[in-house]
Chains A and B, each alone.
Chain A
Amino acid sequence: MTTETRTRTEELTINMGPQHPSTHGVLRLVVTLDGERVVQVIPDIGYLHSSMEKIAERLTYQQYLPYADRYDYLNAMGNELAYVMAVEKLLGIEPTPRCQFIRVMMAEMNRIASHLVYFATLGNDVGAVSVFLYCFREREAILDLFEAASGQRLLYHYLRIGGLRNDLPDDFCAGLGHFLSYFPSRIDEYDKLLTKNRIFRSRMEGVGHFSAEDALSYGVTGPCLRGCGTDYDIRRADPYCVYPQLDFTVPTFEECDAMARHLVRQEEMRQSVRILQQCLEMLPEGDVSVKVPRRIKPDPGEAYARVESPRGELGCYIVSDGSEKPYRLHWRAPSFYNLQAYPVMCKDAWVADLVAILGSVDIVLGDVDR
C-alpha cells in the first residue's frame, strides 16, 4: 500500500453540552470521537456552582436549612435529613420517635420520586419517550403528598432542627396508602415496557462496564456501587433514624454494567414501597418536635452525618466554633464522586452509549457543582 493513496482520518473533538438534550442539566462533556467510537471523555463541571458551602458560613443554622433543599433538588428531603442530623449531633438532640418515622417516610418517598425521574430521563435518553411521561405521572402523586405535608412540591423545607415543621395532615397516611397500593403494579408495567424490552436490554447490557475495585477507588456509592455487586448501603452500614427497626433488603447485581445499575434502582423502588408500608403500620403517636432553643449555639466541635441518598452516600460535615453560624460546612455529594468514574465507564463506548451511561449514573448537576 502506498502512503499517498491512504485515506487520512482524524479524531473528532465534539462538545456535548452544556446545552444538549441529554446532559441532565448543564454538564459539558468534551468528547473525542473516532468515527462513532469514543476515544476520550472529559466532563467539565461547575456551571451550576453556587457556593452552597460558603453561604452556610454567613447564615445561622436555621437559616441555612432551605439551602440544603436546593442543591440536589431531586432529593430535597434527603438533603434536609443529612443537614438536620448533623446539627442535631452537634447539639446532642434526640428527635421524637414519630418524627424519626416521618423523616424516614419522607426520605423514602423522595427516593421513589428521584428514581422515577431517573427512569423517565433514561427512557428519554434511549429513545423511549413515553416512559418519561408515565414516570412523571407517578411522581406527581408523591409530589401531591409532599405538597399536602409541607406546602411545597420541590423544595420542601419540611424538616426542622429537632423535629418537623408540622405533623402530617390528616389524610396523608390514607393518600400514601393508596399510592402504595397501586404503585408496585406500575413498576411491573415499566418492567414490561422498558426493562424487558429487547432493544433496551441490548442498549444497556454490557455497556458502561466498570469493576467494583474501580468503583471503590473512585469513591462511587449508591446504586452505581451496588450494581458492581458490593453490598454497601448507609441505611444498613451506618443505620440512622429508624432503619434498624425496618425490614428491607439491599439489592445488588453483579454485572457491573448500565443494566445492573438500572435493575438496582428498579428494585430499590420496590424496597422503598416495603419500607413505607412498614412505616405506615408502625407510625407511633406523639409529638413531632422537641424543644430547641431559638438561638442555636452548639459547642465548638464537629459532626458528620450521612444518609443514603438515591445517588449514594450523602454526607454533611459541620464544624462549629461555638457561634450561631457554622464555621465550615461541607457536603459529601454522591453525584460528584459518581461523575468522576464516568470517563472510566465510557471506555470503548459508542456515541449512543454516552447518554445511556450518563443516564445510568444518574447525576444531578446541582449535586455535582453545589
Chain B
Amino acid sequence: MSLLSQISNWLRLTAEGLCQRWGIPLLFVDLLAWMVAVAVIIGLVLLIVLIFVYLERKVSGYIQTRLGPMRVGPIGIFQTAMDALKLLIKEDIVPRGADKILHTLGPILFFVAAMLGYVVIPWDDKAIIAKYVDLNIGILYVTAVGSVGIIGIIMGGWGSNNKWSLLGAIRSAAQMISYEVPMLLAIICVVMQAESMSLGRIVTGQQGAYLSGWYCWRPWLWLPLILFFIAATAEVNRVPFDIPEAESELVAGYHTEYSGMKFALFFLAEYANVFVVGLIGATLFFGGWLSPLGHPDPLHIPGFFWLMAKAFAIVIFLMWIRWTLPRLRVDQLMALAWKLLLPAGFLAIFIVAVVLLYI
C-alpha cells in the first residue's frame, strides 16, 4: 500500500507542477485524480467479476459432479474473459417495435448503479478510494444506489417489447422493492451498534483482539445477520429468489431480448451486485478489512486482501445455496418478505435497542 501511495503522491505532485506551469486551475488535478480513481474501480470490479464468474462456473461444476470450464487456458481460467470478448463482438440486436432509447438506457443504468456501490467500499484503512469518499452516510448510499438499478431493469423489460421481459421486469421491481425493507432494517441494527453510517467507522468499530470484535459474534446481531443475507440474496436475484429471470418460467426474464454488449452489461452488473453483497456483508458483520491475525496485521498482509477473502467466502456460500435450492414462487416470495422478514426486522431492531440501552 505504501508503494501505491508513493506513486499516487508523485503523480499528484507532477500533475500539480504541470498545472502551475501551464496555468491550469488546480481543480483539474482533483478532477483527474477522481477520474483515475473511478477508472481503477471499474477496472478492478470488472476483473473481480470475471474471476467471480469463473469461480461460479467452477464451483457449480464441482457441486454438479462435472469439471466446469477446462479448455481455454490452464483449467479454463481464460474462459470468462473469452466469453466477455465474444459478447463484445457479437451483433447487438434491437427487436422490432422496441423502444430504442429505453432499450439502450436500461443496461447502462443498471451497470452504472452497480458500479456506484463500489465507490464507498472501505478497501483498506487508508485505501485511495475510501480516503476520498468515506461518506458519513456510506451504507445509506449503498442501498440508495442499489435501488436505482431497478429502474434500469424496468426500462430494459418495458423497452424490449416482449411480454416475458415485461413480466420479468415487473417481478423484479416488486421483489427488489419488497426486500429492500427488511435489508434496511437489518442494516439499521448494525448502524445502531456502530453508532455511525460510515462504512469506515463501522469497520473500525469492530476492532478487538484477533477476530473477537466482529459483529457476527454478538448474539443480538445474529438475527440481523440472517435477515441481511436473506434479503440481500433476494436483492441480487439469486436462487432461491431468482424469479425475475427464472429460466424455466420466463425464458430469461428482463434480459430475454438482449444480446451482445448490452447483455454483457446486465450480466456483469448482476455479478457486480452479488459481489457488493459479499463486500457489504463482510464489512457489516465480519470486520471488513480487519485482519483476523491481530491489529495491525503481524504479517503485513494488506487489509484489501482480507476484505476480498471474506467477500469471496460469502459469495461462495451464496453459490452453494444457488446450486442447491429450488426457486420460490412469486406469491411465496412476497409472503416471505412482508409476513416474515419485515416483522423479524422490527423485532431485531427492538432487541438491539434493548441490548444497547440496558446492557
Which residues of A approach B to under 8 Å, CB–CB?
Answer: 12, 14, 20-22, 33, 36, 123-130, 132-134, 137, 193-194, 197, 199-200, 202-203, 350-355
Contact = CB atoms under 8 A, between A and B. Distances in A.
Interface in B237-285: 239-240, 242-243, 246-251
Contacts of A200: 326
B330 A199 contact: no
Nearest to A123: B326
Given A22-B248, A134-B64, A202 B324 contact: no
Contacts of B330: 36, 350-352
A130 B323 contact: yes
A197 B243 CA distance: 18
A199 B167 contact: no
Interface of B: 60, 63-66, 163-164, 167, 171, 239-240, 242-243, 246-251, 323-332
A124 B163 contact: no
Given A14-B163, A127-B240, A133-B66, A21 B325 contact: no
A132 B248 CA distance: 13
A127 B246 contact: yes
A137 B65 CA distance: 8
- The 10 tightest CB contacts between A and B, nearest first, are A127-B327, A22-B248, A133-B64, A128-B326, A126-B326, A352-B329, A125-B248, A127-B326, A200-B326, A14-B163
B326 A199 contact: yes
5 contacts: A130-B324, A133-B66, A193-B324, A352-B243, A352-B330
Nearest to B322: A129
Contacts of A351: 167, 249-250, 330
A351 B331 CA distance: 11
A127 B325 contact: yes
Given A128-B324, A197-B325, A202-B329, A352 B246 contact: yes
Contacts of A197: 325-326
B136 to A, nearest CB: 40
A133 B167 CA distance: 29
Kindly name the residue among B64, B327, B329, B330 whose own CB sees the greatest number of chain A CB atoms within 10 A. B329
Contacts of A193: 324
A202 B332 contact: yes
Contact of B326 (A12, A22, A203): A203
Contacts, number: 84
A202 B248 contact: no
B186 to A, nearest CB: 21
Nearest to A131: B326
Given A127-B246, A129-B323, A130-B64, A202 B251 contact: no
Contact of B248 (A21, A130, A133): A21
A130 B63 contact: yes
Nearest to B330: A36
Nearest to B239: A127
Nearest to B332: A202
B248 A12 contact: no
B251 A20 contact: yes
B57 to A, nearest CB: 12
Contacts of B243: 352
Contacts of A125: 248
A354 B161 CA distance: 23
A355 B249 CA distance: 7
A353 B326 contact: no
Nearest to B333: A352
Given A14-B163, A130-B63, A350 B329 contact: yes
B26 to A, nearest CB: 55
Contacts of A137: 65
B65 A133 contact: yes
Given A129-B323, A352-B243, A203 B329 contact: yes
Contacts of B167: 14, 33, 36, 351
A84 to B, nearest CB: 36
Contacts of A133: 64-66
Nearest to B63: A130
A199 B240 contact: yes
Contacts of A130: 60, 63-64, 323-324
A46 to B, nearest CB: 22
Contact of A127 (B63, B163, B164, B242): B242
A132 B323 CA distance: 11
Contacts of B246: 127, 352
Contact of A354 (B163, B249, B251, B326): B249
Contacts of B60: 129-130
Nearest to B328: A199
Given A21-B247, A127-B246, 18 more contacts: A14-B167, A21-B248, A22-B248, A123-B326, A127-B239, A127-B325, A127-B326, A127-B327, A128-B324, A128-B325, A129-B64, A134-B65, A137-B65, A197-B325, A199-B240, A199-B327, A350-B331, A354-B249
